[in-house]
Structure 1
Amino acid sequence: MNPQIEKVVQTETGVRNVLEGTFKGIKIEVVTGYDITHDRWPFHVFLTPAGGQRARLFDAPTQYRANSMQGAFEQGMQLAVHHLEPPEVGFQREVKR
């Protein structure tokens, strides 16, 4: 789990499992449940900015699946962080010596 994600807590267990955390003031929710048809854990990721609207990170039905509940939580949090803080890509603007 990314160490920059704060206040990580599992808020629901059972058929629906939810892990929540905060990254740079934005609430991240990863929601998962076991799918017997595929023997996998499909998951959804929701982002809620402070004082803002809750939004789904990608469309439903989800194509994201993990091998375990913990895997779903970890992958969901990684996707959220990557979305909120994409890696720098492209060419370097200057040569550093």
Structure 2
Amino acid sequence: MARIQTENGFRNVQTDDYKGRKVEVVTGWDSNSDKYPVHVYIDGEKVVGKFIADRMEEAFDYGFVIAAQEIDQL
């Protein structure tokens, strides 16, 4: 996977392709929890679940692992 950062700032987004599927991971710092919520999309459809990380890079790593596991299960 060769991730590309497509948005920076309040909303941070990285995209990549995995086994021909478009993966998008979205995160941003949440001041209420002091964490980074992780939102994962595969071909535009959100992966169901609540995922959080302590750091932004960890959020992206976690999100792409989640996407790979979801795709591999199909």
Instruction: Indicate the TM-score class for this superposition, using the shorter chain for normalisation.
Output: over 0.9
CA drift of 1:8 comes to 1.3
Match of 1:76 among 44, 63, 72: 63
CA drift of 1:25 comes to 0.8
Match of 1:57 among 41, 47, 72: 47
Q: CA RMSD in A?
A: 1.1
User: Structure 1, residues 36-82: CA drift from partner, whole Å, max 9, x if none?
Assistant: 1111000100011xxxxx210115xxx21001110100000000001
Distance 1:8 1:55 in 2: 18
Q: SS at the partner of 1:85?
A: helix
Distance 1:36 1:83 in 2: 29
Runs of 5+ consecutive residues of structure 2 not aligned to the other structure: none
Distance 2:3 2:28 in 1: 18
Rg (Cα) greater in structure:
1
Q: Which residue does 2:5 correspond to in 1? A: 10
Distance 1:58 1:9 in 2: 23
Q: Which residue does 1:91 correspond to in 2? A: none
Q: Percent identity?
A: 36
Q: Which has the higher strand share?
A: 2
Count of aligned pairs: 73
Q: Which has the higher helix share?
A: 2
